[in-house]
Every structure is written in C-alpha cells, then in structure tokens.
Amino acid sequence: MKRGAALLALGLLGLAPGCASLRPRPAWQLPPPPVQEGSIVPEQRLHRAVLENGLDVLLLEDHRTPRLSIGIALRRGIAVEPLDQAGLASLTTEVMKRGAGSRDALALARTIEDIGATLSADAGWDSASVGLTGLSEDGDKLFDLLADVVRRPRFERAEVDRARAETIQALEQEKDEPESLLDRQLDQVLYPGHRYGIPQDGEPRSLMRLDARALREFHRRLFVARNAIFYAVGDIAPDDALARVRAKFGDWEAGAVPEPGPPPPAPTPAARRIVVVDRPDLVQAQIALAHEGISRTDPGRIPALLMNTVLGGGGFLSRLLTRVRADAGLTYSIGSLFEMRRQAGPFAVSTFTRVPEVGRVVSLVLEVLESMKSDPPGEDEFRLAKSFNVGRFVLGLETSQAIAAGLIDLDVYGLPRDSLDTYRTRVNATTQEEVADAARRLLHPERIAIVVVGPAAALRAQLEPLGTVEVVKP
C-alpha cells in the first residue's frame, strides 16, 4: 500500500505543469516489439499414434480444468456429395445424433445430458466431425457414446423424415434473414451447376431424394478409419486415451479416403453480373462483391492473406473499413475474405448500408479494389499487415482446443504437420512484391459479381450505371 502511494505521487508529479520533460514518451510513439518466430505447438503435451487400421490419433493434454473433448474428424465433407443429393452430409450427421447403438433419440439425448455433456455432429465443405465434450471423470461414458454415434448410428426412418422436414423448414426460415439471402444468391451466381452453388444443408429438391438408405450408404463410405482422425483434448493421460481408442476403434473398418469433389469453374463469374434480390420491406441493403478466390493449399496463400489484410481483412488497418466506415460513416461493418476450401472458394467483400447509399458504397468498393492493383500496399501497410497476422495467429491459438483444431485442419488438407510452427517465419519471409503481385493476380473488379438484397425499385437506378441489373425474388 505504501509503495503504491509513492508511485501514485510520482504519477501525479509527472502530470504537473513544468515537469512535462520528465514524462516518458507515450508508449504509442515507441516502436512495436520485434516479431517473435519459432514453434508454437506444445510438443510435450501433444501425442500422436496410428492404429493398425489406419486411424490417426491426436491427443493434446491439458489438465488446467477437468474437461475432456473427444471426437472423430473426417478428411472429406460436403464437397464429395453428388449434386442431386445436396444436403446428404449434413443430414447424415444430423441423424447420427438421433439414435445410436441401443439408444433411440430420446435415450441418447438423456444419457448425454445426464452427465452434462454436449454432442456435436456437423459437416463442412471438406471435413465432418462428431464430438463429445464433458468432464474428464465421465471419460468412460464419453468414449462409449462416441463409439456408438460414430459406428452404430440407427438412421431410423422416422428420424430421417423428421430431420429432413426440419432442414427444409429451416431453409425457408433463413429467407427471413437478409444476410442468408445474400449468401445464397452469391453462391448461385458464382458456382452454377457446382456443389458450391447450393447451400451446405442442401435444397428442398435434393433433400427430398434422401432417405435412410442414402444416409447409411454415405455413412458407410465416409466414416471409416482411413478417412478419420480421432482426437482427445483436455484432462486425460495419453496412455489411458490410447488404450480406450484401441478398445473402441481398433476394429473399425479401414476403408479408404473418398475422391474429393470436382474442381469448380474458373474464372467465375466470366463477366460482371449484377443481381438484386428483391425485398421491398428492407431499410438497409446487404451487399456483396465476389469472384473466385484461392484454395486452402494454394502456394500463394500467405501473400494473398497479407494483401487481404490491407484490403479488408485487418479491421481499421484495412482500406475498406477506413474509407467506407471511418471516413464516410456509410456502414457499421465491411470486410473482405478469401474463403479457402479444397478448391478455390469465393473471394468476397461484404457490407451493408442504408438503401439510398448503395450505389455510392458499391462504387467506393470498386474503387478500393482498383486501387489495390494500381497502388499496391506501401511499406507501412505491408509491415502492419505482417505484424497483424503474426500477432493474431498467436492469440488465436490461446486454447488447446484451438491448437488441436489447427492441427486437424492441416491433416484434412494434407499440409505439412509443422505448418503452425513455421507460420510466423513464412509470413516474415514474404516480400512486398509478392503481396503486390497477389493483388494484381487475384483481384478482378472488372468482372466481379455484385449481389444486393433490398428493395429493387429503389436499387435499380443506383446500380444500372454499373451494368445490367437482374432482379430475382427471394
């Protein structure tokens, strides 16, 4: 307390007139600390193994809380579905939650919830996963339940019907949300005739084709040892975890990794398209500008990422947020993103503004995109983009769950296992010229798709100077 009072007095003195020269320079005028490199994965807590049937095992010990998460992640996801069965992966994982082993839907839910655990089963474009999280003292039960859900789902006809109807109804409900309408229309414009063009959960037409048999078949093909990674994160000893994995998954069918889906068309769109989804009742329009981006494994992904930080991925460091929000007050949020999948996913700028300002916002975005090519990131922008990405990367790996998810992602995409450890070095090694080149190579404002959700009557005149406007109903 005494020491505190002395420090306080010192602080007040520093603020007193006449003593200004004694004050140290503000911290914001000092150079930022040097960027750290080096390994980030806690090797002493990480354990890997491969079972005889090819199942990869990843264990990350963390005993700070008595929590345990276990699960199975797949190396393939929605992208392998046939086009006319869109929604198959999502419906399969959903119905897996509705009865497994000796338990029907209600009994399964009760058993899980009795121990305060949570079950998740989801499909993404390139992976799917089933996971259970609970307390480590319930480890036995968590392993039993996981093995049932992964290996012995019931796929009862009544549950399939129920889940399919819910999905169809939820797809209808999403049309009440302007952001969902925007995403859906954008996918259609960018990927006609491709799986990427249909919502992840499918569409009513394709969902109606799915029955219990289709789900069982898909499950049999995807949920096999060679296509899977078992993970355990949390309060568990590695020997113990490995013994339980062997007991529950040692005799799991080996199978094979399915072929990935077909590559999408590039370039997409071939020429500029402007599409308005007509919602006469909205006071704010949702806006996206998009074209093809790059894949998760693109060798130029780090320069692309740095370029995108300067463009619209770095919050107030980025040109888009500065121009459209900070300077002009035209939106609450604007950003740009390369959605990296196994195949080139979209590059998209998305934002929203009051209806009368849509033309102005779209023109501003196009201008900023052009400027990225004609006036590539300067030395300052480049330096800040690097320190932003390196710093954000480290903070993003604060939890063991995040580290495990990062390692699984590398496996799913066949990227080197040490990629997390080498990331900061790779970012620092990137040159300003590589970033400028990424802008020239990857941005195509002249043929970018422009999709707007809002009242067509008010939007048409604002957008027509930019090209032909197509209007569609939600």
137-196 residues in contact with other proteins (CB under 8 A) are 137, 154-157, 161-162, 164-166, 168-170, 172-173, 175-178
Query: Three-state DSSP class for 438?
Result: helix
State the number of CA atoms in the 13 A half-sphere of 374 facing the CB: 7
Query: What distance in Å separates the CA atoms of residue 270 and residue 93, rounded to the nearest whole number?
Result: 35
Q: Which of 17, 271, 316, 465 binds other proteins (CB under 8 A)?
A: 316
Q: Which two tokens stand for residue 321?
A: 């947020």
- Is there a cis peptide before residue 269, judged by omega within 30 degrees of 0? yes
DSSP state of 33: P
Q: Which of 2, 18, 21, 28 binds other proteins (CB under 8 A)?
A: 28
CB 110, CB 229: distance < 8 Å: no
Which C-beta is closer to other proteins: that of 161 or that of 375?
Answer: 161
Applying CB under 8 A, what is the total number of residues that bind other proteins? 99
64 binds other proteins (CB under 8 A): yes
**According to CB under 8 A, which residues from 281 to 300 bind other proteins?**
281-284
| Residue choice 141, 226, 392, 460 for contact with other proteins (CB under 8 A) | 392
Binding residues among 354-373 for other proteins as defined by CB under 8 A: 354
Quote the least distance from Cβ 95 to other proteins, whole Å: 13
Do 142 and 70 meet the contact criterion of CB atoms below 8 Å apart? yes
Nearest to 456 by CA among 347, 334, 358, 319: 358
Reported residue count of the chain is: 474
Nearer to other proteins by C-beta: 84 or 259? 84
Question: H or E segment at 278?
Answer: strand 274-278
Q: Which two structure tokens, joined as six digits, stand for 43?
A: 């090797």
- Least Å distance between CB 149 and other proteins? 13
Q: How far is the CB of 6 from other proteins (least distance, A)?
A: 10
Position 106 contacts other proteins (CB under 8 A): yes
**Among residues 72, 34, 64, which one has the least CA distance to residue 404?**
72
Among 390, 407, 420, 436, binds other proteins (CB under 8 A): 390
Residue 87: DSSP 8-state: T
Which residues in the 200-259 window bind other proteins by CB under 8 A?
Answer: 204, 207-209, 211-214
Question: Contact with other proteins (CB under 8 A): which of 2, 5, 44, 465?
Answer: 5
Contact segment (CB under 8 A) with other proteins among 53-61, 189-197, 223-231, 312-320 equals 312-320
Q: List the one residue from 39, 102, 120, 399 that touches other proteins (CB under 8 A).
A: 399
Please tell me the distance from the alpha carbon of residue 406 to that of residue 35, in angstroms, as a whole number: 21
Q: Which is nearer to other proteins, 165 or 243 (CB)?
A: 165
Q: Does 38 bind other proteins (CB under 8 A)?
A: no
* Residue 420 CB, nearest approach to other proteins (Å): 13
* 198 is an interface residue for other proteins by CB under 8 A: no
Taking CB under 8 A as the binding criterion, the range among 71-79, 104-112, 265-273, 437-445 that sits at the site for other proteins is 104-112
Between vectors from CA 221 to CA 218 and to CA 222, what angle results, nearest 5°? 85
Q: Toward other proteins, which CB reaches closer, 136 or 295? A: 136
Spatial distance between the Cα atoms of 149 and 96, rounded to a whole number of angstroms: 6
With CB under 8 A as the contact rule, which of the stretches 6-14, 45-53, 74-82, 460-468 interacts with other proteins?
Answer: 6-14
Residues 323-352 that bind other proteins (CB under 8 A): 325-333, 352
State the helix-helix crossing angle for 432-442 and 379-396, rounded to 10 degrees: 90
- At 359 the three-state DSSP class reads helix
Query: What are the residues whose beta carbons fall under 8 Å from the beta carbon of 231, sequence distance 6 or more?
Result: 57, 58, 59, 60, 69, 70, 71, 72, 73, 404, 408
Question: Smallest gap, in angstroms, from Cβ of residue 359 to other proteins?
Answer: 16
**Which residues, 78 to 97, sit near other proteins by CB under 8 A?**
97
**Sequence-separated (6 or more) residues with CB below 8 Å from residue 192:** none
